[in-house]
Every structure is written in structure tokens, then in C-alpha cells.
Structure 1
């Protein structure tokens, strides 16, 4: 099946729609009208309806659009349904906050491993992950084919960690 190419303006608007829809979903909303999306995204509601029809999304007159269906469809279009495995370096306060940040998995990002150089933190649990020794970084990243890392380390340590990640 041939992949559909959408104009960049449409994709830009789509990301604004998606951010708003995720917020609604997080507070338990199930439907949304084009008028609500219009108000939130600052886009004419007729243009929103045109965009939605371009994406083959239909709503019910007087009810609106199903939020979960819109989120699923928009994620398919922008490629966010694909899971991105992430290595997190730094198990301090910032690293712990990132691990516990709920919206990441909703957007296809999964923190799959966490590293630190502090012997007090190594072996401890952060969320559902066990902190690994930073010296294992290169092997774990290669073994699990992790292509993305988040650095939650001091500015002084950032270059050293980046060098570890860049080593072939």
C-alpha cells in the first residue's frame, strides 16, 4: 500500500491537535467537537473538519469525534505508534522524574534501562527499572539496540557520558 504524503502545514496542525487530544484523554474525556479543537489549536473549525476528512476520520453530528480514535489515527500518521526504546543516564532526582513521567509511553517512548555511576544508586529500583552501573552502558545499548539516550547528569558529566555513547 502506498504511503500517503500530507502537506507540512497539515502535519504541523496535526501535532497541535494531538497535544490537545492527549490532554483531554488524560482527564477522561471521550469525545471532542471540531469547535473545541479549533479553540485550542487556534485553527478555523472548517479547516479542522477538512483536515480530519483528509485523514479519513469521521465524527458524529452533535456528538463529535472519539478522542482515542483520533489519537490512534494521528499517531499512525506521524509514526508515533512505533516504540522508541530509551536509555536514561542519571538516576538522581531528574532521572527519577523522567522515569515516572506518564505521558512518555503514550507517545511511543519507553525508558528501557537506567544507568548511574553512584554506588549507592546502582542496584536500586527507580520505577520498575533497576539502576545499572554506567560501565555497562556500551554493552547494554548494543545488546538491546537502543538508539536514543536521555542525559540526566550534571553539565560536567555530560561530555564524558556522551563520549561513552559515541564509542563504536
Structure 2
């Protein structure tokens, strides 16, 4: 190097950019792996879920705790909700396919019993249908359809928002049966 010649100014960010370009793919892989794991192994709620409702053919209140020992698919729905109507076929199939293995499908609406009963009869719903007051329903969620998957102890293992297919439901309940 001759006198008067200066060294090029070091670029401090060049090393950081090279380092980040190697780190980024690793972070993506870790993130995807974690998301897949926690989708299949979500943390349950600390306490079992309990919800009171009335079956269409009974006037006595029922509770989810009545079904401890069974895997429960609790679907919050409404007769006016088109996505809810689309999901009924999958819920019927799920009920038919897994009832003997201890699965209970319960669909609960916050509409009046007459409206729900008339709709259920016309729709050939084969699983348990109930009603609860709108205040109770709104404390759970205002989204329809919304499904909770409860294990045999009554703890929520999955929350499914929106329309689900039979395959979606099976992925959620099979590990619990």
C-alpha cells in the first residue's frame, strides 16, 4: 500500500446482513415447526369448560359436565347463519361415524327453542341440539359457527372458528377418542 492510499471504509452492516441471511431460514423452520406442533398439541384450558343449555325435547337445564367421560364437539350456531348451515352435514357425518367411540356432538343456539326445533326437524339433524340464552352465548363467543373440542375431562383441546369440513373435525377429535 502506498502512502496517500487509504483503506476502504469498512461496512459494518455487511457482516450483519450476511449473518442474518443465514439465520433467517433457521428462524422460519423453527417457527413453522412450532406452529405445526402447537396446532396438534394446543394447551388446554386450566379448568374444564361448563356451559348450561336446554335440549329441545327437555325443559330441564343440561350442562356439559353431564357428559364427562366423553369427547364433546360443542358447536355454537344459528339458524340464520349460512356458514352454520353448510357445516351441518359434516357434523351429522361426524356424529354417525364416531358416536360409538364415545363422541358426543352438541350444537347450541341462542335462538328460541321453537325456531331451532323447527329448523332441526327440517334439516334432519341427527346429533344433540340445544338452546341457551343469548347472554350466556355471548360470554362464550359472538362468532358463528364456532366449535370447541372438549376431552373426556371437559377441558377444551381445540377451538375451531368458522366452517369446518368432516376432515377438519376428524383431525381435532381422533387423537382424543
Interval of TM-score (by shorter of Structure 1 and Structure 2): under 0.3
Task: Compute the TM-score of the two structures, normalised by the length of structure 1.
Answer: 0.27
Task: Compute the TM-score of the two structures, normalised by the length of structure 2.
Answer: 0.26
The higher-RCO structure (CA 8 Å, 6+ apart) is: 2
